[in-house]
Amino acid sequence: MYRIGEKPYPTKIMRDKLYELILRGERLDGRGPYQYRPLELKTAIIEKADGSAMVNLGGTKIIAGVKTALGQPYPDTPDQANIVVNAELLPLASSFFEPGPPDEKAIELARVVDRCIRESKMLELEKLVYIPGRSVLVIYIDVYVLDYDGNYFDPAVLASVAALATAKTPLYEVKNGEVVLNPDIRPSLPIRKVPVSVTIGLLGDKILVDPTSLEESAIDTSIVIGWSDEDEMAAIQKNLQGLIQLSVMDEIIRVSREKSIELRTKLMEAIGRVGAPL
Amino acid sequence: MYRIGEKPYPTKIMRDKLYELILRGERLDGRGPYQYRPLELKTAIIEKADGSAMVNLGGTKIIAGVKTALGQPYPDTPDQANIVVNAELLPLASSFFEPGPPDEKAIELARVVDRCIRESKMLELEKLVYIPGRSVLVIYIDVYVLDYDGNYFDPAVLASVAALATAKTPLYEVKNGEVVLNPDIRPSLPIRKVPVSVTIGLLGDKILVDPTSLEESAIDTSIVIGWSDEDEMAAIQKNLQGLIQLSVMDEIIRVSREKSIELRTKLMEAIGRVGAPL
Amino acid sequence: MYRIGEKPYPTKIMRDKLYELILRGERLDGRGPYQYRPLELKTAIIEKADGSAMVNLGGTKIIAGVKTALGQPYPDTPDQANIVVNAELLPLASSFFEPGPPDEKAIELARVVDRCIRESKMLELEKLVYIPGRSVLVIYIDVYVLDYDGNYFDPAVLASVAALATAKTPLYEVKNGEVVLNPDIRPSLPIRKVPVSVTIGLLGDKILVDPTSLEESAIDTSIVIGWSDEDEMAAIQKNLQGLIQLSVMDEIIRVSREKSIELRTKLMEAIGRVGAPL
Amino acid sequence: MLEKVEHRLITEDGRRIDGRALDEMRPVRIEAGVLDRSDGSAYIEMGKTKIYAAVYGPKEAHPRHLAQPHKAILNCRYHMAAFSVEGRKAPGMTRREIELSKVIREALESIVILEEFPRSAIDIFIEVIQADAGTRTAGLTAASLALADAGIPILDLCAGIAVGKVEGRIVLDPSEEEDKRGEADMPVAMAPRLGSIVLLQLNGRMTSSEFTEALNLAKKGIGVLYELQRKALGKKFATFTPAGEE
Amino acid sequence: MLEKVEHRLITEDGRRIDGRALDEMRPVRIEAGVLDRSDGSAYIEMGKTKIYAAVYGPKEAHPRHLAQPHKAILNCRYHMAAFSVEGRKAPGMTRREIELSKVIREALESIVILEEFPRSAIDIFIEVIQADAGTRTAGLTAASLALADAGIPILDLCAGIAVGKVEGRIVLDPSEEEDKRGEADMPVAMAPRLGSIVLLQLNGRMTSSEFTEALNLAKKGIGVLYELQRKALGKKFATFTPAGEE
Amino acid sequence: MLEKVEHRLITEDGRRIDGRALDEMRPVRIEAGVLDRSDGSAYIEMGKTKIYAAVYGPKEAHPRHLAQPHKAILNCRYHMAAFSVEGRKAPGMTRREIELSKVIREALESIVILEEFPRSAIDIFIEVIQADAGTRTAGLTAASLALADAGIPILDLCAGIAVGKVEGRIVLDPSEEEDKRGEADMPVAMAPRLGSIVLLQLNGRMTSSEFTEALNLAKKGIGVLYELQRKALGKKFATFTPAGEE
């Protein structure tokens, strides 16, 4: 049930090798334990989308696109716009991914991205309501993994947030009780926060930020932490089997906070919001 | 096509053993040929459902829940409430059941339960119409087999009927052409009949009521008979491959009628309707 | 991905045999290279359909039925009736066909039939609009392959076109802004063209019209050409793997045009429209 | 909503809407060997109900883990064409079609000598191209004939027909309108030589005595169909015309 | 649309709507060995949350290509009954159920000694018959007990509970209303003897210090559940009643 | 409903809306080796159409019963991103995507020397991230390059382009608007060195002589693309800029 494309068996030898390195503060690709791979971020690459972004994090390449449409709100949030996140691990991206409807990993990815955006209150969803309970903006975020070398969570969040933050969406207005399109303006979405996520691998009590695909196959477990801003987490997801020693949790939180600040700074630069008030 | 989870091959040896016993009026678990296993029935176990019941028949455990909602009637019955029956053979219940959408056995079970309820005219469906052709009550009956030791038909009907007979449903009223909820009262459903079904296994011309899982694997075939009341059948379903000798049919009908009266009495007691007019 | 029921490997020996024959202008079943198998066409065989036709082309038997209903037009064609074509390669028809939802071959067949009808402008779809953008006729064409001995494209188009051309559909009228059924008349559909398709197999630079199942397994490739009338093509579909030498294209077009005239004449006779203006 | 004044289904002199007597079945045509690609096939018409059946096999069971070491498995698909009914049936198998596939398969499993073909599969496809009441029993009748046409060893042919209860009377081979507006519909199929029932369902209310009457009436109809099947096997087709129409 | 005046979730003297203290969990009942057909099973009630769990295996992995040469694979399905929630959940697995199946499976993979059963599969089924907050952690708690009941070698039992942030306060085992209206919900599961976390999720906002407080509170609750699991294994069931209700 | 006054698609001096001559294709960029995980890959831009293609294999065919004893099987999936089109394409394969996957696969099967890899499978994935006309032919062009980039033996590269009939004129590489409002759209792909067509479809009306003209025009465009493919293989990317834009 729901375990298509399982990760290969974490070999004991590779685990030992990695652990030995990490004890010396080293990694296979020359990075330090707390160091991210090179990050590239480009926005507005899909003219037909309202917003889009392509992120390369080392050898992992992810594209996200934002489209909007008019729709009905969910019954329990009549006064909020809807967010719909879909993620696909394209078979293009890795021999471990198979064609077909999203498997449990793709669904988890979509739901973690969704949580980072929704729980951080990134968007002022209440501003995108035209007729409460009846007509709101529906924001579709579609995330595709095009090339996969480990850690799809962080670049998926980066690409989604960048696509949202740079989107130009249709403007709807209420006229005589009807919702009509104003074709003259395409405003930005109302942004409140800029969430980012930080993925941390664990080898015993050792931390290893932004694991590669090879590292993922050997680490004990991993955890993704989404940060709304410098001080507040918005989402956590332990993923992969394996134990996290309680004694390491403080360090995990500390490191993830630090790295989230670093990522957010890069993201703000890339979307041209350096120092700009949100 | 549609034969997921097939029953194991009925071994010849087990069949001979059972037949030998039944000739002496005996069965493996000490019951007589026409004897049901112990029956337990508990209602109102799911507070979030309008009605619910758990039935244990020997080692077979089934839960049924009733939910209602407003909906449109079917085009060919504009003046009747809708019944929707769904049944699932949970993989929890037996190593012969597999996860996934209902297979042919689960669909058959749902449709037999549906027929027992619908064809017996158990519910006064015409009283649950708010605006003919446009707005009626939709009654969902969901049946789950939690533990399976043979004969899911009879306990599924018992649980469904008990859940319906003890349900407290929202009251809708028509005000100025609109259907509105009256939050003050939760009435019972209008009940006309109390159908029960009786499952009979056959070994040649020998009858064997309420077969266990082990017996099911060895009998020649089986038949389910639903009774609306003491005198009228509402549904029949021969199920499992195998022949029924024409000469045994009268006895099958006679026995099933007798057992149906016994089951109905137990059911009425359990739902607190002993002697009460329906 | 989408390759259920793949055709068996084209054996080299059979290919050589066929090629040798075709060089002499011969085929296994005694036909000439440009000769169709015997064609039978019967209409109005399904009383519950608005139109229907059964076509036997040699050993290939196909039934098509037409049903109509009121519906909404597609957003990009608010002033046209809808056509919906569905085709199924029934497992009844060949051991190469499997039960289940339409596979890529059935979908291709449906889409080629659709294109022949739609792109030839066979039907005056703009005459079947009741309220532009809101209410139009929806025409369902369902095609079933019942027995399969090669070339399902041409008899599927013949059966579909015959079913449409002989259909008697409900008459809807607009009264006070409402679309209502006029139960007194069942008019024919407004027909403009009578498209037919011609399937051509290729062995190197040799042409072989209307291939059988056995021939299909040995030819290099094949092509289907739909003709709106004597002078205009409406659809082409190269299908099956393999190369078409550019130098043969002129001959393919010439032969297909000639055969299309022949097929159309037979079709017109069968549907009783000989010489009648459309 | 219009007031519906529904006509009676049975006249005072015991005739049905379509003129049949209570114990009279519709015209039948049965034909064997109608589809070339299959190993065996049959076509049946009962009134406007029109059905093809085809048999493939015995052949290797696939996927392998479904194979049984000591017998063949039998697969059966009962399917209706989209245009076979009033309105349009959506493509894909409905829950009704899945249930009927099961009961028809179980009926046929009762007559096929599966032990003759260990590790094999026999596929049976029933295609309803027009549905006008009695399709499961007519489909089973055709499938049984297709099995015989395929030369697969069977204990007996089986044939089926529905009986109904309409305005308090038991009738043979109910029409679609009788089925819809009647009190009960009971499809029955038997292997006559074996004196056995292979398929039995009831939708609707009947007393024990009505059931007995209905079963006897079904037996009568099945006898007629059984003879037609046997004739069709020899000369490839056979027809039944109700007395009144001869 | 009516103006909704929402009541406070926590009173001034630090009590919750249902009368519990902030660090108090709901009444619990845990039972092992409740389903006969399975190799191991358990039932849990936490407030109105009611869940069955069953374990089948170790058995041959199927389909074969999923088998691992050096260890068992573990399958897990977390599923909710249609009637388990407000409204009616449509049949079929939702995206939420698929995600929770994954995180629960990964949690259990952390404690089962999979290497003991090469080429095998262990199936775990969790059936939520009523959902009233905390179902994933309660389901995991029951599943862990079912594994032990099945005699499958595990490093430790694991138990889980949610902690929440409600009106700025960290609370144990949030109710459904607290979950919906609160600021954060954090399901946590631990293998206490191993001093390790096996499941951790957060939905909602928390600072680092709130997180630490929440994790400690979860640890306390998990300790109670762990003891109940151990008792249930011996005498087949165990209950916890909050102090105020004793 | 507003009266739509639609502008002409071709001006009196034979220019198209986007300024191109009738026989002029849009700017093209082709790049090989763009995705690291795959065995071969390519990226193509034709106007705003943007497509990735990747090849995995040859590798063991899976599931096994699909394997062919004497050759490799080739799988192909043509898929569009949800945001690639106007509006939003629902996730999942549409009937159109399934058909195009088939015709593209059949085109590629014509050039790959499948007999070199018995019992193997080669997977080709085409991902349209923006669709602005001509996606099937551009996708095929990229896929063919990806196969070469993967070092898989092919008889020839193949390249494809659409030709259209617009306001009575035959045009090369129609834009989306020309495709929608024109009379015909004809995707063509060839293996130039083999002098052969590998893909050919027509949607819309054309006479024999128009067809011949269209085919010749396609051949011209394909020649340009073929050269770009060959260059890209060497230096990893190549571009074409229409004369007017240089």
Contact F98 C236 (CB under 8 A): no
Contact F219 C239 (CB under 8 A): no
Q: Is A107 on the interface with E (CB under 8 A)?
A: yes
Any domain includes D113: yes
Q: In the complex, which subunits touch A with 3 or more CB pairs below 8 angstroms?
A: E, F
Instruction: Provide the mean pLDDT of chain A.
Output: 94
pLDDT of residue D239: 84
Tell me how close the Cα of E246 comes to any Cα of chain A, in angstroms: 33
Q: Is C214 on the interface with D (CB under 8 A)?
A: no
Size of interface B-E (CB pairs under 8 A): 87
pLDDT of residue F4: 56
Question: Which residues touch F209 (CB under 8 Å, ≥6 apart)?
Answer: none
DSSP notation for chain B: ---TTPPPP--HHHHHHHHHHHHTT--TTS--TTPPPPEEEEE---TTSSEEEEEEETTEEEEEEEEEEEEPPPTT-TTS-EEEEEEEE-GGG-TT--SSS--HHHHHHHHHHHHHHHHTT-B-GGGGEEETTTEEEEEEEEEEEEE-SS--HHHHHHHHHHHHHT-B--EEEEETTEEEEETT--PBP-B----EEEEEEEETTEEEES--HHHHTTSSEEEEEEESSSSEEEEEEEESSS-EEGGGHHHHHHHHHHHHHHHHHHHHHHTT-TT---
DSSP notation for E108-162: HHTTB-GGGSTTEEEEEEEEEEE-SS-HHHHHHHHHHHHHHHTT--BS---EEEE
pLDDT of residue B13: 87
The CATH number covering residue D96 comes to 3.30.230.70
Quick: pLDDT tens for E92-140: 999 999 999 999 999 999 999 999 999 999 999 999 999 999 999 999 9
For C96, the closest chain D residue by CA position comes to D37
Q: Is B176 on the interface with D (CB under 8 A)?
A: no
Which residue type sits at A104?
E
Residue A98 DSSP symbol: -
Tell me how close the Cα of B108 comes to any Cα of chain D, in angstroms: 5
Number of H helices, E strands in chain F: 4, 10
Quick: pLDDT tens for F20-41: 999 999 999 999 999 999 999 9
Nearest to D99 among B111, B249, B257 (CB): B111
Nearest to C107 among F95, F190, F205 (CB): F95
| H-run or E-run covering C265 | helix C249-270
The domain segmentation of chain C, as residue ranges, is 11-270
Size of interface C-D (CB pairs under 8 A): 86
Disruptive mutation site among F37, F52, F89 for chain A (greatest number of A CBs within 10 Å):
F37
Quick: pLDDT tens for E158-204: 999 999 999 999 999 999 999 999 999 999 999 999 999 999 999 99
What's the average model confidence in pLDDT over F141-163? 97
Spatial distance between the Cα atoms of A74 and A69, rounded to a whole number of angstroms: 14
What's the average model confidence in pLDDT over A159-170? 97
Quick: pLDDT tens for D105-129: 999 999 999 999 999 999 999 999 9
Spatial distance between the Cα atoms of C42 and C166, rounded to a whole number of angstroms: 11
What's the average model confidence in pLDDT over A185-197? 96
| H-run or E-run covering F43 | strand F40-46
Q: Is C183 on the interface with D (CB under 8 A)?
A: no
| H-run or E-run covering D230 | helix D208-235
- Rounded to an integer, what is the distance from CA B152 to the centroid of its chain? 8
Nearest to D54 among C88, C92, C149 (CB): C92
Has residue C36 got a pLDDT over 60? yes
Number of residues assigned to chain A: 278
Q: How confident is the model at residue E63 (pLDDT cuts 50, 70, 90)?
A: confident
The highest-level CATH class for domain C11-270 is alpha beta
Contact D103 B237 (CB under 8 A): yes
B134 close to B82: Cβ distance less than 8 angstroms = no
Contact F36 A101 (CB under 8 A): no
pLDDT of residue D4: 56
Spatial distance between the Cα atoms of F166 and F178, rounded to a whole number of angstroms: 6
Domain count, chain E: 1
Q: How confident is the model at residue D7 (pLDDT cuts 50, 70, 90)?
A: confident
How do beta strands C135-147 and C82-89 pair? Answer: parallel
Tell me how close the Cα of E170 comes to any Cα of chain A, in angstroms: 15
Instruction: Provide the mean pLDDT of chain F.
Output: 94
Contact D132 C102 (CB under 8 A): no
Any domain includes D21: no
Contact B1 D76 (CB under 8 A): yes
Contact F52 A92 (CB under 8 A): yes
pLDDT of residue B138: 98
Question: Which residues touch E216 (CB under 8 Å, ≥6 apart)?
Answer: none
Any domain includes D115: yes
Task: Give the three-class secondary structure for A5.
Answer: coil
What's the average model confidence in pLDDT over D14-42? 96
Exposed, middle or buried by CB within 10 Å (0-12, 13-18, 19+), for A196? buried
> pLDDT above 90 covers what percent of chain C?
92
Contact C140 D35 (CB under 8 A): no
Has residue A115 got a pLDDT over 60? yes
pLDDT of residue A274: 59
F214 close to F170: Cβ distance less than 8 angstroms = yes
Look up the domain containing E120 and give its range. 28-238
Chain C residues touching residue D53 (CB < 8 angstroms): 92
Contact F54 A92 (CB under 8 A): yes
Has residue D47 got a pLDDT over 70? yes
C-alpha Rg value of chain B to the nearest Å: 20
Disruptive mutation site among D78, D128, D129, D177 for chain C (greatest number of C CBs within 10 Å):
D129
Alpha helices per DSSP H over A46-149? 104-119
Instruction: Provide the mean pLDDT of chain E.
Output: 94
Q: Is B65 on the interface with E (CB under 8 A)?
A: yes
pLDDT of residue D63: 80
Select from F23, F3, F72 the least CA-distant residue to F174.
F23
Give the pTM.
0.95
Instruction: Tell whether ipTM is more than 0.90.
Output: yes
Tell me how close the Cα of D13 comes to any Cα of chain B, in angstroms: 27
Spatial distance between the Cα atoms of E53 and E44, rounded to a whole number of angstroms: 8
Question: Which residues touch E11 (CB under 8 Å, ≥6 apart)?
Answer: none
Spatial distance between the Cα atoms of A49 and B166, rounded to a whole number of angstroms: 54
Q: In the complex, which subunits touch F with 3 or more CB pairs below 8 angstroms?
A: A, C
Quick: pLDDT tens for F127-136: 999 999 999 9
Any domain includes E23: no
Q: Is B105 on the interface with D (CB under 8 A)?
A: yes
Q: How confident is the model at residue A12 (pLDDT cuts 50, 70, 90)?
A: confident
Which residue type sits at A173?
E
Contact F70 C9 (CB under 8 A): yes
Q: E36-69 burial, b for 16+ CB within 10 Å, e for fewer?
A: ebbbbbbbbbbbbbbbbbbbbbbeebeeeeebbe
Any domain includes E83: yes
Q: Is B83 on the interface with E (CB under 8 A)?
A: no
Tell me how close the Cα of E202 comes to any Cα of chain A, in angstroms: 5
Quick: pLDDT tens for F80-125: 999 999 999 999 999 999 999 999 999 999 999 999 999 999 999 9
pLDDT of residue A273: 72
Chain E residues touching residue A105 (CB < 8 angstroms): 102
pLDDT of residue E1: 39
Which parts of chain B register pLDDT below 70?
1-10, 274-278
